[in-house]
Chain A
Amino acid sequence: MSEPVIEAVDVVKVLGSGAGEVQALKGVSVALGAGELALLMGPSGSGKTTLLSILGCMLTPNGGTVRVRGHDTAGQEPEELADLRRRHIGFVFQSYHLFPTLNATDNVRLVLDVRGEYGRHAVKRAQDALAMVGLAHKLKSYPSQLSGGEQQRVAIARAIVGDAPAILADEPTAALDSENGHAIMTILSDIARDKSRGVLVVTHDPRLVPFANRIVRIEDGRIVGEERGPAKRKMKADA
């Protein structure tokens, strides 16, 4: 694997306190390399989302190290972590989290806007990103005018528009039918072909396995297995 775009080493995370205290992650190490689509799979409550939150610099671990493009996130202030997310990480959420009052272009453009990139250039980049996910004809559509699959594509365009090297996707197909789910995974695996980007998808849906270069299995807060995915084998076979 090339130099990881994001990695966690021996990460421990405790959630809650007192009687409700739960050790959600118990020394987890995982890395996402550029040019790969990795699946993080496990049952509900296994710690997938907690790990994704930590890798996405939204939660701070109680122990261990998280590096984003080589930057150790330990001791970073919330604003510094926001800056890391802004520059290095794109997110795709299960329930899309699009802004209902903004059209598709503006929803995508937000990522550039928070970086201080405005104007025609930003609009063009947003429109290009939407075209990449097959929504060139829906630039002015509002989320309420889009299907679930289209909304998720807008969310993917938002994740890639800023050229973030790491794309973290949380159950991106959970709210979609199999046809739309397949289309979304195809787009994500296309993104992962870019050698400067890695895509980590959290899921418990075995139908996504064929798209993965690598599958990391997590259970009860621990990594219990890691295997090469069919996509990797296919790529090798193609080569």
Chain B
Amino acid sequence: MSLVRKLAFRNLFHDRLRLVATVIGIVFSIVLVTVQMGLYLGFGHMVATMIDNADADLWIMPKGTKCFEDPSLLDERKRFRAKSIDGVADATPIVIGFADWRTPSGTSTPVFVVGSNLKTGLRPWNLVEGQIAALSIPSAVAVDQSYFDRLGVKGIGSTAEIRQQKVRIAAVTSGIRSFTTTPYVFTTTERARQYAGIPEGKATYFLVHLSKGADANATRQRLLANLDDIEVLTPTEFRNRSQSFWLFDTGAGMALFAGAVLGIIVGTVIVAQTLYSSTKDHLEEFATLRAIGSSAKYIYEVIIWQALISAVIGFCLAALIGGMIVKLTEGGALPIMMTPLLTLGLFVLTVTMCVASAIAAIVKVMRVDPAIVFSR
């Protein structure tokens, strides 16, 4: 085996304090990027969670709808017309809207009401207590257990009020959290209208089920041709639109990206600085290498291996800390997500950052005069 890796390893571990500083720089940078990108993924996932869990082939929505939470309304008559169009097996109304939840103790908190047909549409998922069918009972609602304190309830059977109407917890979910931190309250379409103050005959979305063998695009074109002032999107398209709105139109995504870029810059500067000073300290050795006839490539390899070893150590520690943060935020309002692709991306980023950081050190070595070995 060539001595390149041994030299790089020994150069790094020879000065442990500097190695610690390098690794801290990398870890700080990569954890920061992990958190920012994990938040970005988590946020993107949360803003699309209702769309991902809805049972639909196509979504009919008012023209100009920007995201799932958009409160614009459709006329129910359009649903009946939609059902008559070739390719449409069914069109289920979905009603959403904000409402005021009053706890038994008299305090109030805003909630986001989601009303759907209980057999299909957008029903609560991840049920940990109760049944969906129980929501058909008058005043029955489903809430997520993570919001119990906020809603002033203890579980099934607890009661509260929405718009002066009594509600009773009939089902409990787990992990259905809103990125706005406003609790979701699931119920039937009719009761959702009452709770959110939406007039009879109005709905926010119609979820279309296609007939067997129907072509989604052709059906969409027919719907657009027959219904005014609507848009028809596939779940993927609606998901992308919602994510694009929340992540980019609101600036939230850019803020997260800016944080990630800042992390990369900080990491690169720290690693570059420590690699540079390490190279400066070993300049005589690099000059000796050059004097005994090593090629420039050989010396670059030593420096780049130093950067790579630092990257691997730094990444492993950062991944460990990142994993702990992911675990800690798992049940939180905005979980930080980690995917295999993000992990791979972060590793590539760490390596790229460290190798790029080696450039300053390489430039320094390129200028070293091998003749200094005679004068020292």
Residues of chain A at the chain B interface (Cβ within 8 Å): 49, 52-53, 56, 58-59, 78-79, 82-87, 89-91, 93-95, 97, 99-102, 106, 109-111, 113-115, 118-119, 158, 170
Contact between A118 and B2, CB atoms less than 8 A apart: yes
B325: shortest Cβ distance to chain A, in Å? 36
Contact between A111 and B292, CB atoms less than 8 A apart: yes
Give the residues in chain B near A101, CB-CB below 8 Å. Answer: 7, 10-11, 14
Does chain A have a CB within 8 A of B80? no
Interchain CA distance A238-B298 in the complex, whole Å: 47
B324: shortest Cβ distance to chain A, in Å? 34
Known: A58-B371, A79-B295, A82-B295. A118 touches B289 (CB 8 A): no
Does chain A have a CB within 8 A of B369? yes
Smallest CB gap from A97: residue in B: B288
Which residue of the partner chain, among A79, A89, A119, contacts B296 with CB atoms under 8 Å?
A79
Does chain A have a CB within 8 A of B215? no
Interchain CA distance A228-B203 in the complex, whole Å: 111
Which residue of B7, B288, B292, B296 has the most chain A CB atoms within 10 A of its CB atom?
Answer: B292
Known: A100-B14, A101-B10, A101-B14. A114 touches B374 (CB 8 A): no
Contact between B370 and A102, CB atoms less than 8 A apart: no
- Interface 1/0 per residue, B363-376 and A, CB below 8 Å: 00000011101111
Interchain CA distance A228-B371 in the complex, whole Å: 29
Give the residues in chain B near A99, CB-CB below 8 Å. Answer: 7, 10, 285, 288
Can you identify 16 A-B contacts, CB atoms within 8 angstroms?
A: A49-B374, A52-B374, A53-B371, A58-B291, A58-B373, A83-B295, A85-B291, A89-B293, A97-B284, A106-B3, A106-B6, A109-B3, A111-B292, A114-B289, A114-B298, A170-B374
Contact between A110 and B376, CB atoms less than 8 A apart: no
How extensive is the interface on chain B, given as a class? 20 to 34
Does chain A have a CB within 8 A of B1? yes
Which residue of the partner chain, among B4, B289, B374, contacts A53 with CB atoms under 8 Å?
B374
Which residue of B10, B298, B370 has the most chain A CB atoms within 10 A of its CB atom?
Answer: B370
B154: shortest Cβ distance to chain A, in Å? 65
Known: A101-B11, A114-B298. A86 touches B292 (CB 8 A): yes
Interchain CA distance A82-B371 in the complex, whole Å: 12
Which residue of the partner chain, among A90, A95, A118, A170, contacts B1 with CB atoms under 8 Å?
A118
- Interface 1/0 per residue, B291-330 and A, CB below 8 Å: 1111110100000000000000000000000000000000
Does chain A have a CB within 8 A of B78? no
Does chain A have a CB within 8 A of B290? yes
B298: shortest Cβ distance to chain A, in Å? 5
Contact between B375 and A85, CB atoms less than 8 A apart: no
Contact between A87 and B2, CB atoms less than 8 A apart: no
Additional A-B contact list (17), CB under 8 Å, known A97-B373, A100-B14, A118-B1 = A56-B291, A79-B296, A82-B290, A82-B293, A82-B295, A87-B293, A93-B373, A97-B285, A99-B10, A101-B11, A111-B293, A113-B4, A114-B293, A114-B294, A114-B298, A118-B2, A170-B374
Contact between B293 and A110, CB atoms less than 8 A apart: no
A158: shortest Cβ distance to chain B, in Å? 7
Give the residues in chain A near B374, CB-CB below 8 Å. Answer: 49, 52-53, 58, 93-94, 170
A237: shortest Cβ distance to chain B, in Å? 35
Give the residues in chain B near A115, CB-CB below 8 Å. Answer: 293
A91: shortest Cβ distance to chain B, in Å? 6
Interchain CA distance A103-B371 in the complex, whole Å: 24
Nearest first, the 8 A-B pairs at minimum CB distance are A86-B293, A101-B10, A114-B294, A85-B293, A58-B371, A97-B288, A53-B371, A113-B3
Contact between B292 and A114, CB atoms less than 8 A apart: yes
A57: shortest Cβ distance to chain B, in Å? 9
Smallest CB gap from A52: residue in B: B374
Contact between A102 and B7, CB atoms less than 8 A apart: yes
Interchain CA distance A160-B34 in the complex, whole Å: 52
Give the residues in chain A near B289, CB-CB below 8 Å. Answer: 110, 114
Give the residues in chain B near A93, CB-CB below 8 Å. Answer: 288, 373-374
Interchain CA distance A113-B14 in the complex, whole Å: 21
Contact between A95 and B292, CB atoms less than 8 A apart: no
Smallest CB gap from B14: residue in A: A101
Give the residues in chain A near B3, CB-CB below 8 Å. Answer: 102, 106, 109-110, 113, 118
Give the residues in chain A near B292, CB-CB below 8 Å. Answer: 85-86, 90-91, 110-111, 114, 158
Contact between A58 and B293, CB atoms less than 8 A apart: no
Interchain CA distance A106-B289 in the complex, whole Å: 13
Give the residues in chain B near A94, CB-CB below 8 Å. Answer: 374
Give the residues in chain A near B7, CB-CB below 8 Å. Answer: 99, 101-102
Contact between B6 and A102, CB atoms less than 8 A apart: yes
Smallest CB gap from B285: residue in A: A99
Contact between B298 and A49, CB atoms less than 8 A apart: no
Smallest CB gap from A113: residue in B: B3
Contact between B293 and A102, CB atoms less than 8 A apart: no
Interchain CA distance A34-B255 in the complex, whole Å: 71
Known: A106-B3, A114-B294, A114-B298. A95 touches B288 (CB 8 A): no
Give the residues in chain B near A79, CB-CB below 8 Å. Answer: 295-296
